[in-house]
């Protein structure tokens, strides 16, 4: 499995869960932000696109969304998993061939 496939498999369901919840709870601005990232994740072409997804997720705190406690927990879990994936991919890139 490629890094792009692994990231998509891990993050896409979490992003969808979060966006569906946010849309159902009148948090349209936050939902649109995460839906955009979910869309980007579904259209990955190369490692640069994957980097862009990780970068977009890293800006979540800068968006100043007023997430309710449940949405905040889901978003935190999503961000933690994205950070773990990014770290693992970075470590793989640093391994000498």
Q: Give yes or no for residue 1 having a pLDDT over 90.
A: no
22-65 pLDDT per residue, tens = 999 999 999 999 999 999 998 999 888 888 999 999 999 899 99
Domain assignment present for residue 14? The answer is yes
Q: What are phi and psi of 67, to 5 degrees?
A: -75, 140
pTM (2 decimals)?
0.85
**CB of 29 within 8 A of CB of 37?**
no
Percent of residues, the chain, with pLDDT higher than 70: 94
In the chain, the number of structural domains is 1
Give exposure, 70-84, as e/b (b: 16+ Cβ within 10 Å). ebeebbeebbeebee
Structure tokens at 58: 């890293």
Domain that holds residue 9: 3-88
Q: Flag whether pLDDT at 97 surpasses 60.
A: no
Give mean pLDDT, residues 9-21.
Answer: 94
pLDDT by residue (tens digit) across 56-94? 999 998 999 999 999 999 999 999 999 888 888 777 655
Mean pLDDT of the chain: 89
**Residue 96 domain flag:** no
Count H helices and E strands in the chain, helices first.
4, 0
Q: Which pair of tokens denotes residue 44?
A: 């990955």
Question: Is 95 a member of any domain?
Answer: no
């Amino acid at each position: 499995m490629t890094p792009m496939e692994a990231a998509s498999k891990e993050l896409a369901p979490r992003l969808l869960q979060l966006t569906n919840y946010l849309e159902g709870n009148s948090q349209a601005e936050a939902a649109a932000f995460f839906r955009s990232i979910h869309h980007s994740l579904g259209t990955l072409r190369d490692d640069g696109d994957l980097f862009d997804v990780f970068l977009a997720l890293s800006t979540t705190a800068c968006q100043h969304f007023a997430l309710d406690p449940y949405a905040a927990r889901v978003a935190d879990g999503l961000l933690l998993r994205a950070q773990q994936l990014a770290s693992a991919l970075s470590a793989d890139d640093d391994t000498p061939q």
